[in-house]
C-alpha cells in the first residue's frame, strides 16, 4: 500500500508539473491579449494547476484498482489506466505549444510595429531572445516526443528529458527571478 501511495503522489506531481506549465502559458497569453484585464483569474489558475491533476489521478487510481491491481503499479500491461494519465498530459502539452506559437506571433507583430525602433537585425535578435526565454517557461521541449510511441523512443526520450527537463526549474529561476531586477 505504501509503494502504491508513493507512486500515486509521484504521478500527481508529474501531472501537476505539466498543468502548472499550462497555467504559466495561459497567464502570459492573457497578459498579452487582455492588456487591461482587472481580473487576475487566480482561483481558476489554482483549479487548473492542482484540480485537474487531482481529478485524473483519482480516476487513474480507481482504474488501477479495478483493472490492474498488481504489484506496485509500476508496470502497465493494460493500456487503459496509463492513458487516463497520458491523455491529459498530452492535451496540456499541445495547448501549451499552441499558446507558445500564439505568443511568438504576438511578439512578432509587436516587433514589426512602426513604434518599435531599430533595424531588422536587432528586431530579429529581440524575437530570438524572447523565444529562447519562453521555451523553458512553456516546457516546449516536451513537444519533441509527444507524438512518438513510448516504446520506440524511450531511450532517447529519457536522455533528452534528463538533460533538458531536469534543468528547466533552474533555467526558469535564473531567467525570471535571479536576473530580473523587479524581483
pLDDT digits (tens, 9 = 90+) for 24-83: 888 888 888 876 666 667 888 899 999 999 999 999 999 988 888 888 877 777 777 888
Domain assignment present for 3: yes
For position 172, which CATH number holds? Answer: 1.20.1070.10
What is the predicted pLDDT for the residue at 111? 73
Q: Tell the residue number behind the cell numbers 506571433, with chain if given.
A: 105
Domain assignment present for 51: yes
Domain assignment present for 183: no
Domain assignment present for 47: yes
> Roughly what angle, to the nearest 10 degrees, separates helices 52-67 and 2-33?
150
Average pLDDT over residues 140-150: 66
Domain assignment present for 81: yes
Question: If you average pLDDT over each of 86-95, 130-139, 156-165, which comes out highest?
Answer: 86-95
Domain count, the chain: 1
Domain assignment present for 55: yes
Domain assignment present for 56: yes
Average pLDDT over residues 92-109: 87
- pLDDT-based confidence at 9, cuts 50/70/90? very high
List helix spans (H) across the chain.
2-33, 42-46, 52-67, 79-111, 120-138, 150-164, 168-173
Domain of residue 174 covers 1-178
Domain assignment present for 104: yes
Amino acid at each position: 500500500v505504501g509503494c502504491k501511495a508513493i507512486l500515486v503522489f509521484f504521478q500527481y506531481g508529474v501531472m501537476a508539473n505539466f498543468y502548472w506549465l499550462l497555467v504559466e502559458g495561459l497567464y502570459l497569453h492573457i497578459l498579452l491579449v487582455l492588456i487591461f484585464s482587472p481580473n487576475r483569474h487566480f482561483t481558476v489558475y489554482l483549479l487548473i494547476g492542482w484540480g485537474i491533476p487531482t481529478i485524473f489521478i483519482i480516476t487513474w487510481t480507481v482504474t488501477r484498482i479495478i483493472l490492474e491491481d498488481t504489484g506496485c503499479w509500476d508496470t502497465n500491461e493494460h493500456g487503459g489506466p496509463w492513458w487516463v494519465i497520458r491523455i491529459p498530459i498530452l492535451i496540456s502539452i499541445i495547448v501549451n505549444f499552441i499558446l507558445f506559437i500564439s505568443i511568438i506571433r504576438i511578439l512578432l507583430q509587436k516587433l514589426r510595429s512602426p513604434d518599435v525602433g531599430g533595424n531588422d537585425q536587432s528586431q530579429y535578435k529581440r524575437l530570438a531572445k524572447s523565444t529562447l526565454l519562453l521555451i523553458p517557461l512553456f516546457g516546449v521541449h516536451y513537444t519533441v516526443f509527444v507524438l512518438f510511441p513510448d516504446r520506440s523512443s524511450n531511450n532517447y526520450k529519457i536522455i533528452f528529458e534528463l538533460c533538458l527537463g531536469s534543468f528547466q526549474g533552474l533555467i526558469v529561476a535564473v531567467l525570471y527571478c535571479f536576473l530580473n531586477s523587479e524581483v
